[in-house]
Structure 1
Amino acid sequence: MKIDRNEVVRLLERLSNAKGPSGFEDEVIDVARDFCDGWATVEENTLRDGLIVPNGTGLDDNRARPRVMMDAHGDEVGGMVRTIRANGTMGFVTLGRFPEGALCGQDVLVRNARGEWLHGTIGVKPPHFTSAAEKAAHVPPEMILDVGATSAEEARERFFLRIGEPFVVATQFTFDPERGIAVGKAFDCRAGVAAMLIALRELASRDDLSVDVVASVSAQEEVGERGVAAAARTLDPDVAYMFEGCPADDTFLVPDEVQTALHGGPMFRHFDRCMITNPRYQRFVLNAAEAAGLRVQESVREGGGTDGGPVHLMDVPCVVSGVPCRYIHTATSICAIDDVIESARVAVEVISRMTPEVICGF
């Protein structure tokens, strides 16, 4: 399987820079639609799931072969305007979880009622104005969403700000071609979306498969894995192969405990808070990767959840392939482009080996 490294970088760049917090994934779906032009159709539902069906593959109930659903969520952690204050600043809620302090001082882009994205910041009170009592209490400072308006009237009439509008961090993608390192926002799960799209296109071009392959760029994963259930009800798969931009642990654990490192290939989790992975399916994946000489990692997680959670409860066997990404759920993440490529290769190898008998054995 030949993969154009530069194409993968360009795809990841477009996906990373797309602004798509939970519930507002439109730009991400647009990137996927452009990539699929000519070889697959991309439709949307009301949750902003992107449903991808390669040409020649139908969704009728009289299927001749098992159906494999690939999935990667399109949303990113972000926020929503909750209030517009008298001084022109805004209160907000987060869409998904940020680590404590991760948003303080960050550049953000806030969408207004005209669909424009305004550059602003998450402001905090400077130390010059922090009282001794506040310092002694070690209370986290209040975070203020600010694009420069000086009154509520100006915020509404000149900046066209409204409650309910989203914001994302403003980090722009960069890539170091010599070292193969990408830096950007939303690699959870845009790194997974990139790997999935590359793998899906390769699988769609093959005429020797024993299965049909469809895919979803699902919505609202960061607020409780909501979109993937609707996608699965439409695509009606017999088995699912999930992609993630998963948290790398190689910068904060001792070496013996590291289970997800950069340049180690995709990570397949046996357990997290939402799913005990089907052990027969998991073993099939790991054996297929080993037989093909492809790098993979394994983990047992005490926390975290993925789109595998809702779908495996629909009696659909699931595995989760995680592209290792350092510092997810912050403004800036780091990943290795070879891990994105290896994740696509493993998916193609695994799905190419699937047969009706294999799937029945899961």
Structure 2
Amino acid sequence: MKQLLKELVETPGVSGKEEKVRELISEKIEDEADSIETDNFGNLIARKGSGDKTLMIDAHMDQIGMGVRRITEDGFIRISKIGGAYPISLVNQRVIVHTSEGENLTGVIGAKPSHLVDGPGEGDLPQMEKAFVDVGAEDREDLKDRGVRVGDYITFDRDFKEMINGYVTGPAMDNRIGCAMAIKAFNDFDEDYELVAVFSAQEEVGRKGAKISSRNINPDAAIVLETARAGDTPNMDLDESDEFTGDGFGITMIEASGRGVITPEKVRNWLIENAEDDFNYHRKLYNKGVTNAGHINTSNSGIPTGVVVIPTRHLHTAIEVLKMSDAEEAVEFLDKTFSNFEEYF
């Protein structure tokens, strides 16, 4: 699964511009799928198997990024965030500007040199409206001649790297690890009911894709595969997160004080009873943070929905970190959970 995750992480797919990662995912499941379609919103929907029941798994395929907001006269690019990209994640990063002409331009997001920072507050991170990309352009016309237009997408120029002790790092682990798990579980599926895998669009900007797909599919139950902020780094408080990498996967109880999904008792029982004894897992409850599960759960007349998460360090940055064993164990758990789905629903 490591090589699959590497390919997914290194394929760009900012919210609203997911076609390249959608094409890659489609290639990875086409031999096993009974059907694959892309709906009008951009969700990739794959079906496998048949029967009286339908289980849906959801993993959003979009990533945070930026967009070209304005081109200055002297050839710099003012940017706007797309999703949860913030100055602390952007400054002094190398980026790729994906131009309207199809050319990729290497750029950097800089800040005032430290040599010139004297007074209090001068070293503070710039506000988003002051952030800019430098691609080495001579002026505005130079950028326009190279195909840069307002609305073009910008991604981090980072690749997948292996660390020690089974850790890996790269951009877009949120949520390409969920996509990798969904691909593996979908390809391994061999049960007497229908499995529908949805690789949803635009989660990072309002969980939009899952709202549409779940209404159309209307499954008997659903599982969302996601990341969660890990708390096992310096300066993280246990009340902010007590999920540690290397401790397995998480099963969500309640999201965002109930503003997100409140996992139905039937789903809790199904997931926990399958995880108990055989797997390393933890029960997850956060005061902040929501996933696609809330929209799926409230679709139509109500779809019983659960969430399986992989603890991930440094979320919404260019250098997100997770431990592969957590995801690999989660896939084994999904295989077991799929095997007795019909006993619970």
Q: Is TM more than 0.5 here?
A: yes
Matched with 1:295 is: 280
Counterpart pick for 1:264 among 247, 250, 257:
247
Structure 1 residue 226 corresponds to structure 2 residue 205: no
Consecutive unaligned residues in structure 1, runs of 5 or more: 1-7, 58-63
Counterpart pick for 2:15 among 19, 22, 38:
22
Deviation at residue 129 of structure 1 after TM alignment: 4.8
Q: Deviations over 1:16-65 (max 9, x none)?
A: 111011111112112211111311133212322111112x54xxxxxx41
Structure 1 residue 85 corresponds to structure 2 residue 72: yes
Distance in 2 (CA, whole Å) between partners of 1:94 and 1:269 is 28
After TM superposition, the structure 1 stretch with the greater mean CA deviation from structure 2, 249-258 or 15-24, is 249-258
Consecutive unaligned residues in structure 2, runs of 5 or more: none
Matched with 2:293 is: 308
**Alignment map for 1:64-79 (pairs within 5 Å):** 64-79=51-66
Distance in 2 (CA, whole Å) between partners of 1:26 and 1:308 is 23
Q: Deviations over 1:241-273 (max 9, x none)?
A: 110022111214456985321111111121112
Q: Mark the CA change 1:226 to 1:256 in structure 2 (over 3 Å): closer, same or farther.
A: closer
Matched with 1:148 is: 136
Q: Mark the CA change 1:234 to 1:257 in structure 2 (over 3 Å): closer, same or farther.
A: closer
Distance in 1 (CA, whole Å) between partners of 2:238 and 2:133 is 39
Aligned AA for 1:23? G
Structure 1 contact 180–336 (Cα < 8 Å) conserved: yes
Aligned AA for 1:48? G
Distance in 1 (CA, whole Å) between partners of 2:5 and 2:193 is 27
State the SS of the aligned residue for 2:276.
Answer: helix
Aligned AA for 2:42? R
Distance in 2 (CA, whole Å) between partners of 1:240 and 1:349 is 15
Structure 2 contact 229–241 (Cα < 8 Å) conserved: no
Identity of matched residues, %: 27
Structure 1 contact 49–227 (Cα < 8 Å) conserved: yes
Q: Mark the CA change 1:313 to 1:256 in structure 2 (over 3 Å): closer, same or farther.
A: closer
Matched with 1:196 is: 182
| Root mean square deviation of aligned Cα | 2.0
Structure 1 residue 96 corresponds to structure 2 residue 83: yes
Q: Deviations over 1:53-112 (max 9, x none)?
A: 12x54xxxxxx4110000100011101111111111111111111354211011111100
After TM superposition, the structure 1 stretch with the greater mean CA deviation from structure 2, 245-254 or 84-93, is 245-254
Aligned AA for 1:290? E
Deviation at residue 294 of structure 1 after TM alignment: 1.3
Matched with 1:116 is: 103
Distance in 2 (CA, whole Å) between partners of 1:186 and 1:193 is 11
Structure 1 residue 242 corresponds to structure 2 residue 224: yes
- How many equivalent residue pairs? 336
Matched with 2:41 is: 47
Q: Mark the CA change 1:165 to 1:100 in structure 2 (over 3 Å): closer, same or farther.
A: closer
Deviation at residue 168 of structure 1 after TM alignment: 0.9
Distance in 2 (CA, whole Å) between partners of 1:202 and 1:133 is 57
Structure 2 contact 44–200 (Cα < 8 Å) conserved: yes
Distance in 2 (CA, whole Å) between partners of 1:180 and 1:83 is 42
Matched with 2:28 is: 35
Aligned AA for 1:169? F
Structure 1 contact 83–92 (Cα < 8 Å) conserved: yes
Q: Deviations over 1:219-241 (max 9, x none)?
A: 10001101111221232211101
Distance in 2 (CA, whole Å) between partners of 1:311 and 1:255 is 29
Structure 1 contact 211–354 (Cα < 8 Å) conserved: no
Structure 1 contact 282–319 (Cα < 8 Å) conserved: yes
Q: Mark the CA change 1:127 to 1:184 in structure 2 (over 3 Å): closer, same or farther.
A: same
Distance in 2 (CA, whole Å) between partners of 1:93 and 1:284 is 42
Matched with 2:331 is: 344
Distance in 2 (CA, whole Å) between partners of 1:249 and 1:133 is 30
Structure 1 contact 271–277 (Cα < 8 Å) conserved: yes
Distance in 1 (CA, whole Å) between partners of 2:315 and 2:125 is 24
Q: Deviations over 1:108-164 (max 9, x none)?
A: 11100122221111122224455748629x57363112211121111101x210011
Aligned AA for 1:98? A
Distance in 2 (CA, whole Å) between partners of 1:119 and 1:112 is 11
Aligned AA for 1:224? G
Structure 1 contact 259–297 (Cα < 8 Å) conserved: no
Aligned AA for 1:140? P
